[in-house]
Amino acid sequence: MIKHLFKLIWNKKKQNFLLITEILVSFMVIFAVFILVVNYYQHYKQPMGFEYDHVWVVNYQSDVKIKDKDSLDVYYKTILSNIKAMPQVQEVSFASSNVPFSANTHMNNVDYKKVHVNRVNYYTAGDAYDKVLNMKVTEGRWFGKQDDAATVKPVIINRTLRQQLFGNGKALGEKVGGNDSKRIIVGVVEDVKAKGDYQEAGLAMYERIDTSSNDGRGRILVKVNANADAAFESRLYKLMASNSNNSGIEIEHLTDKRKTINNTTLIPMIILLVVACFLIINVALGLFGVLWYNINKRKGEIGLRRAIGASGDSVSWQLVTESMILATLALFIGIFFAVQFPLLNVFDLPASVYLTAILLSVMFIYLLVLICSLYPGKQASAILPAIALHEE
Amino acid sequence: MIKLQNIQKVYRTDTIETLALNGINLDVAKGEFLSIMGPSGCGKSTLLNIMGLLDEPSKGSISIAEQTTGRFNDKQLAKFRNQKLGFIFQSYHLIGDLQVIDNVELPLLYRDTNAKERRRLATEALEKVGLSNRLKHFPKQLSGGQRQRVAIARAIVGNPEIILADEPTGNLDSAMGNEIMDILLQLNRNDGTTIVMVTHDENMAQKTHRLVRLFDGSQVQ
């Protein structure tokens, strides 16, 4: 019977062309939506790589006029020690402006021998940065006093960058960068999803902040106790204002920043999903209409099949199967185009994202076509053969 | 072979009730070729549909091949039609998107017959009606008479005991009509197939064993 239906569909290829095209277009749209959803979901289920609860970000604009490096070093370290002396503060560290969940990004390339890696996030971090964010050091160590006298700038990289640069080889002690800007790797940390729950951790390199310079700074990360309240926040603000001698101070909480940055990912996705939903409803109505029209056009055939031995159920089964075969033909074409994405690495996403999206889209289209054909199929099974044959 | 007892058929709408058949009693013997005649709207096709289990009577009972079909469910009716009955229609009812051979194979698709056997039986049926050279043609490439011969091949491919023909020559000129009638007579004579034929053509009806006349839903002869 399946072969018979294939033959019937093939012989009506002109009539079926539009329906196949409609299913194909639906598949491609659903595929695009699923790529986004699967990609975000895969990122979402990855660990954050750090703790953001009770971490505050102090934004300040230092207009300190100190020129001497030692004095400047003392000045900044005094600010840190003053903050840390507050009873609600557990840890405190300087940071560059691209703190977790901020929109700021500092990117550069990294070279190691013949390996060239693009789009590496550069972070400037203080000696307690890892403790403030409870980051996990997997190899080597975080920055410390032993780096004060370092002749080659120490850096710490994340696990993904380590993998790209060294694979399974040794990373610690290796030097990266050009001849004039060599850096030595002293530690490797777990990946940190600094751009929110739904974005990938990416590649990261951490440099030690230089407190004897005004460069590469602008944020202070403060890990506070659970009982740190608005009164404490006010005291912290006043402390910073008295130290930095200006009013450009803002205190943010990482939990709030996380919500904000997650929304920047989620809102466009939700809008896309709503648009896709409308499209799917349109496609479903279109499919339903075409199948309904086909049944009315084929009443004579249905009547004949009933007369020569088809039961109502087998007529219904035939029409649903025909729709599923049409969907299969459309999906063959759709899958051919869809597999080009991982093969050509179109959006630099893992192949698993595309393959999962293809699988989900195929299931979705089959389900959609099944739902759209069930009712017309049932209606066809209810057609009385004598009436159908008479109408023809 | 076919026994109709006190068959009544009423079509009801919200406002009108139409009595299409009233008290029809009819016995068709095995191997008989019966024709049914009557003016348009007298209930000939309704009677044939009821005999073919395509429609249900409002009252009365039907027995075909010694089986009372009144309590059959949809699947049993379908199986019974497939195995015992063959249909020929005035407008052929061929599927235009299928080749001649595929049209003839159709009844066998609803049986457990493999593809090779289906092809063999369909080819044999087409040979019987003289169309073995048109297997790969589509219905629109055939004349009216050839189309009706395909329909006859489709009706006999499953080797049914009864053929029900609803004005099989109605759309054909007299020469083609005679050809079709000859095939039906041969089937009746050679294979012993019981045939019930609705016709408007007195000459065709005279060639059959028995003639039943209907008028306003009642049997008058």
pLDDT tens digits for range B32-58? 999 999 888 888 888 888 888 888 888
pLDDT for B155 beyond 60: yes
Minimal CA separation from B206 to chain A, in Å: 26
Q: Domain range for residue B103?
A: 33-42+74-219
* Domains held by chain B: number: 1
- Kindly report, residue by residue over B159-180, the tens digit of the pLDDT: 888 999 988 888 878 888 888 8
Q: CB distance B75–A311 less than 8 Å?
A: yes
- Kindly report, residue by residue over B92-115, the tens digit of the pLDDT: 889 888 999 999 999 999 988 888
| B220 vs A: CB within 8 A | no
The answer to whether residue B17 is domain-embedded is: no
pLDDT for A216? 55
Mean pLDDT of chain A: 88
Among chain A residues, CA nearest to B163: A308
Region A151-159: mean pLDDT is 93
Q: Look up the ipTM and state it.
A: 0.89
Query: Which band of pLDDT confidence, cut at 50, 70 and 90, is reported for residue A50?
Result: very high
Mutation test of the interface with chain A: which of B89, B141, B157, choosing the one with the most A Cβ atoms within 10 A?
B89
Concatenate the DSSP letters of all residues of chain B into one string: -EEEEEEEEEEE-SS-EEEEEEEEEEEE-TT-EEEEE-STTSSHHHHHHHHTTSS--SEEEEEETTEE-TT--HHHHHHHHHHHEEEEETT----TTS-HHHHHHHHHHTTT--HHHHHHHHHHHHHHTT-TT-TT--GGGS-HHHHHHHHHHHHHTT--SEEEEESTTTTS-HHHHHHHHHHHHHHHHHH--EEEEE-S-HHHHHTSSEEEEEETTEE--
Percent with pLDDT over 70 in chain A: 96
Region A49-54: mean pLDDT is 93
Query: Which band of pLDDT confidence, cut at 50, 70 and 90, is reported for residue A245?
Result: low
Q: CB distance B81–A304 less than 8 Å?
A: no
Region B71-79: mean pLDDT is 87
pLDDT for A13? 81
Q: What is the CATH number of the domain that holds B111?
A: 3.40.50.300
- Kindly report, residue by residue over A162-211, the tens digit of the pLDDT: 999 999 899 999 999 866 778 999 999 999 999 999 998 889 999 998 87
Among chain A residues, CA nearest to B49: A386
Q: Global pTM?
A: 0.78
- Kindly report, residue by residue over A214-228, the tens digit of the pLDDT: 665 678 999 999 888
| A315 vs B: CB within 8 A | no
The answer to whether residue B149 is domain-embedded is: yes
The answer to whether residue B4 is domain-embedded is: no
Among chain B residues, CA nearest to A306: B78
pLDDT for A52? 93
> Which residues of chain B lie closer than 8 angstroms to A1, CB-CB?
109
Interface of B with A in 3-42 (CB under 8 A): none
Percent with pLDDT over 90 in chain B: 18
Q: CB distance B110–A8 less than 8 Å?
A: no
pLDDT for A339? 93
Q: CB distance A309–B83 less than 8 Å?
A: yes
Those residues whose C-beta lies under 8 Å from the C-beta of residue A231, and which sit 6 or more positions away, are none
> Which residues of chain A lie closer than 8 angstroms to B83, CB-CB?
309
pLDDT for A346? 82
Region A344-348: mean pLDDT is 83
Minimal CA separation from B163 to chain A, in Å: 11
pLDDT for B199 beyond 80: yes
Q: CB distance B45–A390 less than 8 Å?
A: yes
Region A159-164: mean pLDDT is 94
Minimal CA separation from B57 to chain A, in Å: 12
| B82 vs A: CB within 8 A | yes
In this structure, what token pair is assigned to residue A251? 């205190």
The answer to whether residue B144 is domain-embedded is: yes
Region A79-100: mean pLDDT is 91
Phi, psi of A218 (to 5 degrees): 140, -10
Q: CB distance B98–A313 less than 8 Å?
A: no
Is residue A160 a contact partner of residue A200, using CB atoms and an 8 Å limit? no
Cα-Cα end-to-end distance for chain B: 20
| A314 vs B: CB within 8 A | yes
Query: Which band of pLDDT confidence, cut at 50, 70 and 90, is reported for residue A353?
Result: very high
Bigger pLDDT: A70 or A93? Answer: A93
pLDDT for A161? 95
pLDDT for B171? 80
pLDDT for B221? 67
Mutation test of the interface with chain B: which of A15, A316, A389, choosing the one with the most B Cβ atoms within 10 A?
A389
Minimal CA separation from B70 to chain A, in Å: 16
Region A21-35: mean pLDDT is 90
| B136 vs A: CB within 8 A | no
Region A274-303: mean pLDDT is 85
pLDDT for A40 beyond 70: yes
pLDDT for A3? 82
Among chain B residues, CA nearest to A13: B97
Minimal CA separation from A380 to chain B, in Å: 14
pLDDT for A361 beyond 80: yes
Region A281-288: mean pLDDT is 85
> Which residues of chain A lie closer than 8 angstroms to B147, CB-CB?
none
pLDDT for B96? 87
Region A374-383: mean pLDDT is 86
pLDDT for A189? 96
Q: CB distance A314–B74 less than 8 Å?
A: no
The answer to whether residue B108 is domain-embedded is: yes
